[in-house]
Structure 1
Amino acid sequence: MPTPLPPLQALRALEAAARRRSFSRAAEELHLTHSAVSHHLRGLEEQLGVELFRRAGARMIPTAAGAQLADRVRHSLDDLRDALDATRRGLGSAGATRLELSAMSDFLSVWLIPRLGDFYEKHPLVDLSLHMHASVVPPDPYSVDIGIWHRRVDEPGFLSRKLLDDMVVAVCSPTLLARYPDFRIEDLPTMPLLHFSRRSWRDFFEAAGLSAEEPDRGPIFDDAGLLLQATVAGQGVATARLQLARSFIERGELVQLGHVRIPASLDYFFTWREGHPRDATIQQFYRWLKGQLGS
Protein backbone atom coordinates (compact mmCIF):
# COMPACT_ATOMS: atom_id res chain seq x y z
CA MET A 1 0.00 0.00 0.00
CA PRO A 2 1.18 3.57 -0.66
CA THR A 3 2.58 5.42 2.34
CA PRO A 4 -0.16 7.64 3.80
CA LEU A 5 0.45 11.33 3.19
CA PRO A 6 0.89 13.62 6.20
CA PRO A 7 -1.67 16.43 6.66
CA LEU A 8 -1.11 19.31 4.22
CA GLN A 9 -0.94 21.76 7.13
CA ALA A 10 2.00 19.79 8.57
CA LEU A 11 3.86 19.99 5.26
CA ARG A 12 3.15 23.73 5.01
CA ALA A 13 4.45 24.16 8.57
CA LEU A 14 7.63 22.29 7.62
CA GLU A 15 8.22 24.47 4.54
CA ALA A 16 7.57 27.74 6.38
CA ALA A 17 9.66 26.79 9.44
CA ALA A 18 12.61 25.69 7.28
CA ARG A 19 12.47 28.92 5.27
CA ARG A 20 11.97 31.21 8.26
CA ARG A 21 14.34 29.31 10.60
CA SER A 22 11.75 29.91 13.29
CA PHE A 23 8.60 28.16 14.51
CA SER A 24 7.21 31.48 15.74
CA ARG A 25 7.63 33.19 12.36
CA ALA A 26 6.18 30.17 10.58
CA ALA A 27 3.19 30.29 12.92
CA GLU A 28 2.69 34.00 12.22
CA GLU A 29 2.84 33.43 8.45
CA LEU A 30 0.39 30.51 8.56
CA HIS A 31 -1.92 32.19 11.12
CA LEU A 32 -1.33 29.38 13.61
CA THR A 33 -0.07 29.28 17.17
CA HIS A 34 3.53 28.36 17.99
CA SER A 35 2.30 25.20 19.74
CA ALA A 36 0.28 24.19 16.65
CA VAL A 37 3.38 24.41 14.44
CA SER A 38 5.42 22.42 17.00
CA HIS A 39 2.67 19.81 17.17
CA HIS A 40 2.55 19.47 13.36
CA LEU A 41 6.31 19.07 13.11
CA ARG A 42 6.55 16.58 16.00
CA GLY A 43 3.86 14.51 14.31
CA LEU A 44 5.74 14.67 11.02
CA GLU A 45 8.98 13.53 12.68
CA GLU A 46 7.15 10.64 14.38
CA GLN A 47 5.51 9.56 11.12
CA LEU A 48 8.78 9.67 9.19
CA GLY A 49 11.07 8.49 11.98
CA VAL A 50 13.53 11.28 11.15
CA GLU A 51 14.67 14.38 13.03
CA LEU A 52 13.72 17.43 10.91
CA PHE A 53 14.90 20.37 13.08
CA ARG A 54 17.59 21.17 15.62
CA ARG A 55 17.71 24.18 17.92
CA ALA A 56 20.66 26.57 17.48
CA GLY A 57 20.30 29.34 20.05
CA ALA A 58 17.02 31.09 19.33
CA ARG A 59 16.75 29.60 15.84
CA MET A 60 15.34 26.29 14.63
CA ILE A 61 17.68 24.95 11.94
CA PRO A 62 16.47 22.21 9.61
CA THR A 63 18.57 19.06 9.50
CA ALA A 64 19.82 17.84 6.13
CA ALA A 65 16.74 15.61 5.88
CA GLY A 66 14.45 18.48 6.93
CA ALA A 67 15.96 20.92 4.44
CA GLN A 68 15.74 18.41 1.60
CA LEU A 69 12.12 17.55 2.36
CA ALA A 70 11.17 21.23 2.79
CA ASP A 71 12.65 22.04 -0.61
CA ARG A 72 10.67 19.26 -2.31
CA VAL A 73 7.50 20.31 -0.50
CA ARG A 74 8.08 23.90 -1.67
CA HIS A 75 8.34 22.78 -5.30
CA SER A 76 5.24 20.59 -4.91
CA LEU A 77 3.24 23.46 -3.42
CA ASP A 78 4.32 25.66 -6.34
CA ASP A 79 3.10 23.03 -8.80
CA LEU A 80 -0.15 22.65 -6.90
CA ARG A 81 -0.75 26.41 -6.90
CA ASP A 82 -0.12 26.50 -10.66
CA ALA A 83 -2.58 23.66 -11.27
CA LEU A 84 -5.26 25.29 -9.11
CA ASP A 85 -4.66 28.67 -10.75
CA ALA A 86 -4.99 27.20 -14.24
CA THR A 87 -8.13 25.24 -13.31
CA ARG A 88 -9.68 28.32 -11.69
CA ARG A 89 -9.24 30.23 -14.95
CA GLY A 90 -10.42 27.27 -17.01
CA LEU A 91 -7.16 27.06 -18.91
CA GLY A 92 -6.05 23.52 -18.16
CA SER A 93 -2.43 22.40 -17.96
CA ALA A 94 -1.56 24.02 -21.31
CA GLY A 95 -2.84 27.43 -20.24
CA ALA A 96 -1.13 30.57 -19.01
CA THR A 97 1.70 30.65 -16.49
CA ARG A 98 1.45 33.21 -13.72
CA LEU A 99 4.53 34.80 -12.17
CA GLU A 100 4.51 36.79 -8.94
CA LEU A 101 6.87 39.75 -9.43
CA SER A 102 8.01 42.23 -6.79
CA ALA A 103 9.91 45.33 -7.92
CA MET A 104 11.16 48.59 -6.48
CA SER A 105 8.32 51.10 -6.66
CA ASP A 106 10.12 53.58 -8.94
CA PHE A 107 11.29 50.90 -11.39
CA LEU A 108 7.84 49.33 -11.46
CA SER A 109 5.71 52.45 -11.89
CA VAL A 110 7.99 54.57 -14.08
CA TRP A 111 9.95 52.08 -16.19
CA LEU A 112 8.39 48.60 -16.22
CA ILE A 113 4.61 49.11 -16.43
CA PRO A 114 4.71 51.33 -19.56
CA ARG A 115 6.67 48.59 -21.37
CA LEU A 116 4.73 45.51 -20.28
CA GLY A 117 2.40 45.67 -23.27
CA ASP A 118 5.32 44.58 -25.43
CA PHE A 119 6.03 41.63 -23.15
CA TYR A 120 2.39 40.47 -23.12
CA GLU A 121 2.26 40.76 -26.91
CA LYS A 122 5.36 38.55 -27.27
CA HIS A 123 4.40 36.14 -24.47
CA PRO A 124 0.57 35.96 -24.41
CA LEU A 125 0.52 32.88 -22.15
CA VAL A 126 2.38 34.60 -19.28
CA ASP A 127 0.48 36.57 -16.65
CA LEU A 128 2.23 38.76 -14.09
CA SER A 129 1.03 39.63 -10.61
CA LEU A 130 2.83 42.85 -9.69
CA HIS A 131 3.84 43.83 -6.16
CA MET A 132 5.41 47.18 -5.29
CA HIS A 133 8.36 47.24 -2.86
CA ALA A 134 9.68 50.44 -1.27
CA SER A 135 12.38 49.41 1.21
CA VAL A 136 16.05 49.01 0.27
CA VAL A 137 16.00 45.73 2.22
CA PRO A 138 14.48 42.94 0.08
CA PRO A 139 11.30 41.24 1.31
CA ASP A 140 11.02 37.48 1.94
CA PRO A 141 12.36 36.15 -1.39
CA TYR A 142 10.16 33.05 -1.14
CA SER A 143 7.04 35.24 -1.27
CA VAL A 144 7.40 35.89 -5.03
CA ASP A 145 8.83 34.23 -8.15
CA ILE A 146 10.89 37.23 -9.31
CA GLY A 147 12.34 40.14 -7.38
CA ILE A 148 13.79 43.35 -8.84
CA TRP A 149 15.32 44.90 -5.75
CA HIS A 150 18.19 47.15 -4.70
CA ARG A 151 20.14 44.44 -2.89
CA ARG A 152 21.20 40.89 -3.58
CA VAL A 153 19.51 38.12 -1.58
CA ASP A 154 21.81 36.22 0.79
CA GLU A 155 19.51 33.20 1.23
CA PRO A 156 21.07 29.97 -0.11
CA GLY A 157 19.51 28.75 -3.34
CA PHE A 158 18.81 32.21 -4.77
CA LEU A 159 20.45 33.86 -7.77
CA SER A 160 20.78 37.62 -8.30
CA ARG A 161 21.98 39.36 -11.47
CA LYS A 162 22.68 43.07 -11.73
CA LEU A 163 20.48 44.57 -14.41
CA LEU A 164 22.41 47.68 -15.45
CA ASP A 165 24.91 50.38 -14.53
CA ASP A 166 22.91 53.57 -14.30
CA MET A 167 23.85 57.24 -14.03
CA VAL A 168 22.15 60.17 -12.30
CA VAL A 169 21.47 63.45 -14.13
CA ALA A 170 19.74 66.75 -13.31
CA VAL A 171 16.37 67.29 -14.99
CA CYS A 172 13.54 69.81 -14.98
CA SER A 173 10.45 70.63 -17.04
CA PRO A 174 10.76 72.81 -20.17
CA THR A 175 8.36 75.27 -18.50
CA LEU A 176 10.68 75.72 -15.52
CA LEU A 177 13.76 75.99 -17.71
CA ALA A 178 12.06 78.75 -19.74
CA ARG A 179 12.30 80.93 -16.61
CA TYR A 180 16.12 80.72 -16.94
CA PRO A 181 16.72 81.56 -20.63
CA ASP A 182 20.49 81.98 -20.15
CA PHE A 183 20.87 78.90 -17.96
CA ARG A 184 24.38 77.80 -17.05
CA ILE A 185 25.25 74.90 -14.75
CA GLU A 186 26.47 77.48 -12.21
CA ASP A 187 22.81 78.60 -11.86
CA LEU A 188 21.70 75.21 -10.57
CA PRO A 189 21.95 75.97 -6.80
CA THR A 190 19.73 79.07 -7.25
CA MET A 191 16.86 77.13 -8.85
CA PRO A 192 14.01 75.46 -6.89
CA LEU A 193 15.41 72.04 -6.02
CA LEU A 194 13.54 68.82 -5.25
CA HIS A 195 15.17 66.23 -2.98
CA PHE A 196 15.28 62.44 -3.15
CA SER A 197 15.74 61.02 0.35
CA ARG A 198 18.47 58.55 -0.77
CA ARG A 199 20.53 61.02 -2.77
CA SER A 200 22.54 64.14 -1.95
CA TRP A 201 22.54 67.30 -4.07
CA ARG A 202 25.99 68.03 -2.72
CA ASP A 203 27.45 65.02 -4.58
CA PHE A 204 26.03 66.36 -7.81
CA PHE A 205 27.30 69.88 -7.12
CA GLU A 206 30.82 68.53 -6.53
CA ALA A 207 30.74 66.58 -9.79
CA ALA A 208 29.68 69.79 -11.57
CA GLY A 209 32.59 71.69 -10.01
CA LEU A 210 30.30 73.81 -7.81
CA SER A 211 31.12 74.68 -4.21
CA ALA A 212 27.48 74.98 -3.07
CA GLU A 213 26.38 73.29 0.15
CA GLU A 214 23.51 70.81 0.50
CA PRO A 215 20.28 72.85 0.18
CA ASP A 216 18.17 73.00 3.35
CA ARG A 217 14.94 73.94 1.55
CA GLY A 218 12.67 72.14 -0.89
CA PRO A 219 10.31 69.13 -0.86
CA ILE A 220 11.72 65.70 -0.03
CA PHE A 221 10.50 62.51 -1.74
CA ASP A 222 10.95 58.91 -0.60
CA ASP A 223 9.77 57.55 -3.95
CA ALA A 224 11.68 58.37 -7.16
CA GLY A 225 8.55 57.88 -9.26
CA LEU A 226 6.70 60.58 -7.34
CA LEU A 227 9.78 62.78 -7.56
CA LEU A 228 9.70 62.53 -11.36
CA GLN A 229 5.97 63.34 -11.44
CA ALA A 230 6.61 66.50 -9.41
CA THR A 231 9.49 67.42 -11.74
CA VAL A 232 7.33 66.97 -14.85
CA ALA A 233 4.73 69.20 -13.18
CA GLY A 234 7.33 72.00 -13.02
CA GLN A 235 7.76 72.04 -9.25
CA GLY A 236 11.56 72.10 -9.36
CA VAL A 237 14.80 70.51 -10.53
CA ALA A 238 15.57 66.93 -9.51
CA THR A 239 18.40 64.46 -9.80
CA ALA A 240 17.11 61.26 -11.40
CA ARG A 241 18.33 57.97 -12.77
CA LEU A 242 18.83 58.38 -16.50
CA GLN A 243 17.13 55.04 -17.16
CA LEU A 244 13.98 56.25 -15.37
CA ALA A 245 14.05 59.76 -16.81
CA ARG A 246 14.91 58.80 -20.40
CA SER A 247 11.35 58.30 -21.66
CA PHE A 248 10.27 61.65 -20.16
CA ILE A 249 13.21 63.35 -21.89
CA GLU A 250 12.41 61.67 -25.21
CA ARG A 251 8.77 62.84 -24.98
CA GLY A 252 9.88 66.39 -24.23
CA GLU A 253 8.37 66.36 -20.73
CA LEU A 254 11.78 66.78 -19.09
CA VAL A 255 15.05 68.42 -20.09
CA GLN A 256 18.49 67.30 -18.95
CA LEU A 257 20.45 70.20 -17.47
CA GLY A 258 24.07 70.18 -18.61
CA HIS A 259 26.12 67.06 -19.18
CA VAL A 260 27.07 66.16 -15.60
CA ARG A 261 26.47 62.54 -14.62
CA ILE A 262 27.22 60.72 -11.39
CA PRO A 263 26.93 56.95 -10.72
CA ALA A 264 23.67 55.79 -9.16
CA SER A 265 24.33 54.70 -5.58
CA LEU A 266 21.88 51.77 -5.68
CA ASP A 267 21.68 49.06 -8.33
CA TYR A 268 18.77 46.89 -9.43
CA PHE A 269 19.17 43.12 -9.04
CA PHE A 270 17.01 40.51 -10.76
CA THR A 271 16.48 37.72 -8.21
CA TRP A 272 14.89 34.28 -8.47
CA ARG A 273 15.11 30.86 -6.87
CA GLU A 274 17.51 28.37 -8.40
CA GLY A 275 15.66 25.33 -9.76
CA HIS A 276 12.32 27.15 -9.71
CA PRO A 277 9.56 25.01 -11.30
CA ARG A 278 8.75 27.90 -13.65
CA ASP A 279 12.38 28.67 -14.45
CA ALA A 280 11.85 28.59 -18.23
CA THR A 281 9.21 31.33 -17.99
CA ILE A 282 11.37 33.35 -15.59
CA GLN A 283 14.21 33.19 -18.12
CA GLN A 284 11.84 34.39 -20.88
CA PHE A 285 10.99 37.42 -18.78
CA TYR A 286 14.67 38.05 -17.93
CA ARG A 287 15.72 37.97 -21.59
CA TRP A 288 12.89 40.35 -22.53
CA LEU A 289 13.85 42.69 -19.67
CA LYS A 290 17.53 42.79 -20.68
CA GLY A 291 16.51 43.45 -24.27
CA GLN A 292 14.39 46.41 -23.21
CA LEU A 293 17.16 47.82 -21.01
CA GLY A 294 19.65 47.41 -23.84
CA SER A 295 17.47 49.28 -26.29
Structure 2
Amino acid sequence: MFEPYLSRWNLLPDGDPIVARGSYLLPVRMDGHINGNPAMLKIALDAEEKFGGLVMQWWNGDGAARVYAYAGDALLMERAQGKNSLMEMACQGQDDEASCIACNVIAKLHQPRSMPPAELIPLNIWFEALESAAQREGGLFLQSLAAARELLASPRDIVVLHGDIHHENVLDFGPRGWLAIDPKRLIGERGYDYANLLCNPELPTVTDPIRFIRQSHVITQAANLERRRLLQWTLAYAGLSASWFLEDGDRQNANSDLSIAKLALQALLWEVNNHDDFH
Protein backbone atom coordinates (compact mmCIF):
# COMPACT_ATOMS: atom_id res chain seq x y z
CA MET A 1 0.00 0.00 0.00
CA PHE A 2 2.72 2.50 0.99
CA GLU A 3 5.52 1.19 -1.22
CA PRO A 4 4.57 2.86 -4.54
CA TYR A 5 4.60 6.27 -2.85
CA LEU A 6 7.74 5.59 -0.82
CA SER A 7 9.53 5.03 -4.11
CA ARG A 8 7.77 7.79 -6.02
CA TRP A 9 8.50 10.48 -3.44
CA ASN A 10 11.82 9.09 -2.15
CA LEU A 11 10.60 8.49 1.40
CA LEU A 12 12.11 6.50 4.26
CA PRO A 13 9.75 4.87 6.83
CA ASP A 14 10.23 6.46 10.24
CA GLY A 15 7.84 4.54 12.49
CA ASP A 16 5.05 1.99 12.56
CA PRO A 17 1.94 2.30 10.37
CA ILE A 18 -1.12 3.83 12.02
CA VAL A 19 -4.65 2.62 11.29
CA ALA A 20 -7.16 5.47 11.44
CA ARG A 21 -10.80 5.68 10.54
CA GLY A 22 -10.83 6.14 6.78
CA SER A 23 -7.07 6.03 6.22
CA TYR A 24 -3.70 4.41 6.84
CA LEU A 25 -0.79 6.57 7.94
CA LEU A 26 2.97 6.06 7.97
CA PRO A 27 5.54 8.39 9.58
CA VAL A 28 8.32 8.99 7.04
CA ARG A 29 11.46 11.01 6.38
CA MET A 30 11.83 12.90 3.13
CA ASP A 31 14.76 12.76 0.69
CA GLY A 32 15.24 9.06 1.46
CA HIS A 33 17.43 9.88 4.46
CA ILE A 34 17.10 9.47 8.22
CA ASN A 35 17.87 13.18 8.59
CA GLY A 36 15.27 14.20 6.02
CA ASN A 37 12.33 16.36 7.03
CA PRO A 38 9.73 14.43 9.05
CA ALA A 39 6.45 13.93 7.21
CA MET A 40 3.32 11.80 7.31
CA LEU A 41 2.20 9.64 4.39
CA LYS A 42 -1.57 9.17 4.38
CA ILE A 43 -3.47 6.71 2.19
CA ALA A 44 -7.19 7.51 1.97
CA LEU A 45 -9.62 4.60 2.09
CA ASP A 46 -12.74 6.52 1.05
CA ALA A 47 -13.75 9.52 -1.03
CA GLU A 48 -14.28 11.72 2.02
CA GLU A 49 -10.66 11.33 3.12
CA LYS A 50 -9.38 11.68 -0.43
CA PHE A 51 -11.18 14.95 -1.09
CA GLY A 52 -10.06 16.25 2.30
CA GLY A 53 -6.58 16.27 0.78
CA LEU A 54 -7.74 18.79 -1.81
CA VAL A 55 -8.90 21.10 0.97
CA MET A 56 -5.54 20.69 2.71
CA GLN A 57 -3.78 21.67 -0.51
CA TRP A 58 -6.03 24.69 -0.91
CA TRP A 59 -5.20 25.94 2.59
CA ASN A 60 -1.54 25.85 1.56
CA GLY A 61 -0.18 25.44 5.09
CA ASP A 62 -2.06 28.46 6.48
CA GLY A 63 -3.75 27.15 9.62
CA ALA A 64 -3.26 23.55 8.50
CA ALA A 65 -0.38 21.13 7.98
CA ARG A 66 1.57 21.74 4.77
CA VAL A 67 0.99 19.36 1.86
CA TYR A 68 4.23 18.27 0.22
CA ALA A 69 2.73 15.97 -2.42
CA TYR A 70 -0.69 14.69 -3.43
CA ALA A 71 -1.58 11.97 -5.92
CA GLY A 72 -4.54 9.65 -6.18
CA ASP A 73 -5.39 8.34 -2.72
CA ALA A 74 -2.06 9.43 -1.20
CA LEU A 75 -1.17 12.60 0.64
CA LEU A 76 2.28 13.53 1.94
CA MET A 77 2.04 16.19 4.62
CA GLU A 78 3.94 17.94 7.34
CA ARG A 79 4.22 15.89 10.54
CA ALA A 80 3.43 17.35 13.97
CA GLN A 81 6.55 17.38 16.15
CA GLY A 82 5.39 19.44 19.13
CA LYS A 83 4.78 17.85 22.51
CA ASN A 84 1.61 19.68 23.56
CA SER A 85 -1.91 18.28 23.20
CA LEU A 86 -5.25 20.10 23.30
CA MET A 87 -6.86 17.00 24.79
CA GLU A 88 -4.33 16.92 27.63
CA MET A 89 -4.77 20.65 28.18
CA ALA A 90 -8.55 20.30 28.35
CA CYS A 91 -8.23 17.44 30.85
CA GLN A 92 -5.66 19.20 33.04
CA GLY A 93 -7.29 22.50 33.90
CA GLN A 94 -6.56 24.39 30.68
CA ASP A 95 -9.90 23.87 28.96
CA ASP A 96 -10.35 27.58 28.25
CA GLU A 97 -6.90 27.83 26.66
CA ALA A 98 -7.51 24.71 24.54
CA SER A 99 -10.80 26.10 23.25
CA CYS A 100 -9.20 29.45 22.40
CA ILE A 101 -6.35 27.77 20.52
CA ALA A 102 -8.82 25.72 18.48
CA CYS A 103 -10.90 28.84 17.75
CA ASN A 104 -7.80 30.69 16.52
CA VAL A 105 -6.95 27.82 14.17
CA ILE A 106 -10.51 27.73 12.84
CA ALA A 107 -10.39 31.47 12.20
CA LYS A 108 -7.21 31.03 10.12
CA LEU A 109 -8.85 28.29 8.08
CA HIS A 110 -11.88 30.49 7.44
CA GLN A 111 -9.90 33.46 6.09
CA PRO A 112 -10.90 34.63 2.60
CA ARG A 113 -8.95 32.87 -0.13
CA SER A 114 -9.03 32.28 -3.86
CA MET A 115 -11.61 30.11 -5.62
CA PRO A 116 -12.41 27.12 -3.35
CA PRO A 117 -11.90 23.53 -4.47
CA ALA A 118 -14.59 21.85 -6.54
CA GLU A 119 -16.93 19.14 -5.27
CA LEU A 120 -17.47 20.58 -1.81
CA ILE A 121 -20.54 19.27 0.01
CA PRO A 122 -23.09 21.84 1.26
CA LEU A 123 -24.31 21.44 4.82
CA ASN A 124 -27.91 20.72 3.83
CA ILE A 125 -26.66 17.53 2.15
CA TRP A 126 -24.40 16.73 5.12
CA PHE A 127 -27.39 16.84 7.48
CA GLU A 128 -29.44 14.27 5.59
CA ALA A 129 -28.44 11.56 8.10
CA LEU A 130 -30.15 13.59 10.82
CA GLU A 131 -33.39 13.64 8.81
CA SER A 132 -33.43 9.85 8.76
CA ALA A 133 -32.61 9.54 12.46
CA ALA A 134 -35.29 12.05 13.44
CA GLN A 135 -37.94 10.10 11.53
CA ARG A 136 -36.78 6.84 13.08
CA GLU A 137 -35.91 7.87 16.65
CA GLY A 138 -37.93 11.02 17.37
CA GLY A 139 -37.19 12.75 20.68
CA LEU A 140 -34.11 14.95 20.80
CA PHE A 141 -33.34 14.11 17.18
CA LEU A 142 -36.44 16.08 16.21
CA GLN A 143 -35.24 19.07 18.25
CA SER A 144 -31.82 18.85 16.58
CA LEU A 145 -33.43 18.64 13.16
CA ALA A 146 -35.58 21.70 13.86
CA ALA A 147 -32.47 23.67 14.84
CA ALA A 148 -30.62 22.48 11.73
CA ARG A 149 -33.48 23.46 9.44
CA GLU A 150 -33.67 26.95 10.93
CA LEU A 151 -29.92 27.46 10.55
CA LEU A 152 -29.72 26.05 7.04
CA ALA A 153 -32.63 28.21 5.90
CA SER A 154 -30.76 31.41 6.76
CA PRO A 155 -27.01 30.77 6.47
CA ARG A 156 -24.46 33.42 7.42
CA ASP A 157 -20.74 33.80 6.76
CA ILE A 158 -20.34 31.00 4.20
CA VAL A 159 -16.82 29.53 4.15
CA VAL A 160 -14.97 26.35 3.28
CA LEU A 161 -15.31 24.36 6.50
CA HIS A 162 -12.93 21.98 8.20
CA GLY A 163 -15.92 19.84 9.14
CA ASP A 164 -14.32 17.82 11.95
CA ILE A 165 -12.54 20.16 14.34
CA HIS A 166 -11.91 18.54 17.71
CA HIS A 167 -9.10 18.34 20.25
CA GLU A 168 -7.17 15.69 18.32
CA ASN A 169 -7.43 17.29 14.88
CA VAL A 170 -5.58 20.42 15.96
CA LEU A 171 -1.97 19.47 16.67
CA ASP A 172 1.19 21.11 17.97
CA PHE A 173 3.60 21.66 15.07
CA GLY A 174 6.33 23.22 17.19
CA PRO A 175 7.70 26.45 15.63
CA ARG A 176 4.74 26.57 13.21
CA GLY A 177 2.28 26.58 16.09
CA TRP A 178 -1.07 24.80 16.24
CA LEU A 179 -2.38 23.51 12.90
CA ALA A 180 -5.35 21.47 11.70
CA ILE A 181 -5.37 18.09 9.99
CA ASP A 182 -8.01 15.75 8.52
CA PRO A 183 -10.67 18.08 7.08
CA LYS A 184 -13.85 16.97 5.39
CA ARG A 185 -14.96 18.66 2.15
CA LEU A 186 -17.74 20.92 3.37
CA ILE A 187 -18.96 24.42 2.65
CA GLY A 188 -21.39 26.33 4.83
CA GLU A 189 -21.83 28.70 7.75
CA ARG A 190 -18.67 29.17 9.79
CA GLY A 191 -20.48 28.51 13.08
CA TYR A 192 -20.73 24.82 12.23
CA ASP A 193 -16.99 24.36 12.74
CA TYR A 194 -17.14 25.50 16.38
CA ALA A 195 -19.93 23.19 17.57
CA ASN A 196 -17.81 20.04 17.76
CA LEU A 197 -15.59 21.65 20.40
CA LEU A 198 -18.56 21.19 22.73
CA CYS A 199 -19.36 17.66 21.54
CA ASN A 200 -16.11 15.67 21.48
CA PRO A 201 -17.02 12.31 23.11
CA GLU A 202 -13.34 11.55 23.78
CA LEU A 203 -13.25 14.36 26.34
CA PRO A 204 -14.14 12.93 29.78
CA THR A 205 -15.89 16.14 30.91
CA VAL A 206 -17.86 16.70 27.71
CA THR A 207 -21.28 16.10 29.33
CA ASP A 208 -20.55 18.17 32.45
CA PRO A 209 -23.22 20.94 32.44
CA ILE A 210 -20.90 23.47 34.11
CA ARG A 211 -18.16 22.78 31.56
CA PHE A 212 -20.66 23.08 28.72
CA ILE A 213 -21.97 26.47 29.82
CA ARG A 214 -18.51 27.87 30.49
CA GLN A 215 -17.04 26.67 27.19
CA SER A 216 -20.03 27.94 25.24
CA HIS A 217 -19.21 31.42 26.57
CA VAL A 218 -15.47 30.99 25.96
CA ILE A 219 -16.03 29.89 22.35
CA THR A 220 -18.64 32.58 21.71
CA GLN A 221 -16.15 35.26 22.71
CA ALA A 222 -13.07 33.72 21.08
CA ALA A 223 -14.87 33.09 17.78
CA ASN A 224 -16.90 36.32 17.76
CA LEU A 225 -20.13 34.35 17.42
CA GLU A 226 -23.66 35.03 18.53
CA ARG A 227 -24.13 32.67 21.49
CA ARG A 228 -27.63 31.66 20.50
CA ARG A 229 -26.32 30.70 17.07
CA LEU A 230 -23.51 28.61 18.59
CA LEU A 231 -25.99 26.79 20.83
CA GLN A 232 -28.23 26.11 17.83
CA TRP A 233 -25.31 24.71 15.85
CA THR A 234 -24.33 22.59 18.84
CA LEU A 235 -27.86 21.21 19.15
CA ALA A 236 -27.95 20.48 15.42
CA TYR A 237 -24.46 18.98 15.24
CA ALA A 238 -24.90 16.82 18.35
CA GLY A 239 -27.98 15.24 16.78
CA LEU A 240 -26.15 14.70 13.49
CA SER A 241 -23.17 13.13 15.24
CA ALA A 242 -25.47 10.89 17.29
CA SER A 243 -27.17 9.73 14.09
CA TRP A 244 -23.77 8.73 12.65
CA PHE A 245 -22.90 6.79 15.80
CA LEU A 246 -26.24 4.97 15.62
CA GLU A 247 -25.51 4.04 12.00
CA ASP A 248 -22.27 2.47 13.30
CA GLY A 249 -24.08 0.67 16.12
CA ASP A 250 -22.35 2.81 18.76
CA ARG A 251 -25.13 3.60 21.22
CA GLN A 252 -22.74 4.77 23.96
CA ASN A 253 -21.25 7.65 21.96
CA ALA A 254 -24.67 8.42 20.48
CA ASN A 255 -25.99 8.86 24.02
CA SER A 256 -23.07 11.17 24.83
CA ASP A 257 -24.01 13.37 21.87
CA LEU A 258 -27.66 13.32 22.89
CA SER A 259 -26.63 14.51 26.36
CA ILE A 260 -24.89 17.45 24.68
CA ALA A 261 -27.97 18.11 22.56
CA LYS A 262 -30.04 18.25 25.74
CA LEU A 263 -27.61 20.70 27.37
CA ALA A 264 -27.71 22.92 24.28
CA LEU A 265 -31.50 22.82 24.19
CA GLN A 266 -31.74 23.66 27.90
CA ALA A 267 -29.32 26.57 27.45
CA LEU A 268 -31.36 27.89 24.54
CA LEU A 269 -34.60 27.66 26.52
CA TRP A 270 -33.00 29.38 29.51
CA GLU A 271 -31.84 32.23 27.31
CA VAL A 272 -35.34 32.66 25.87
CA ASN A 273 -37.07 32.50 29.25
CA ASN A 274 -34.68 35.05 30.72
CA HIS A 275 -35.01 37.40 27.74
CA ASP A 276 -31.25 37.38 27.24
CA ASP A 277 -29.92 39.09 24.13
CA PHE A 278 -28.05 35.84 23.33
CA HIS A 279 -24.59 37.40 23.29
Classify the TM-score, shorter chain. Answer: under 0.3
TM-score (structure 1 length as normaliser) = 0.24
Q: Which has the larger radius of gyration?
A: 1
- Name the structure where helix makes up a greater proportion of residues: 2
| Higher relative contact order (Cα pairs below 8 Å, separated by 6+ residues) | 1
With the length of structure 2 as denominator, give the TM-score of the two structures.
Answer: 0.25
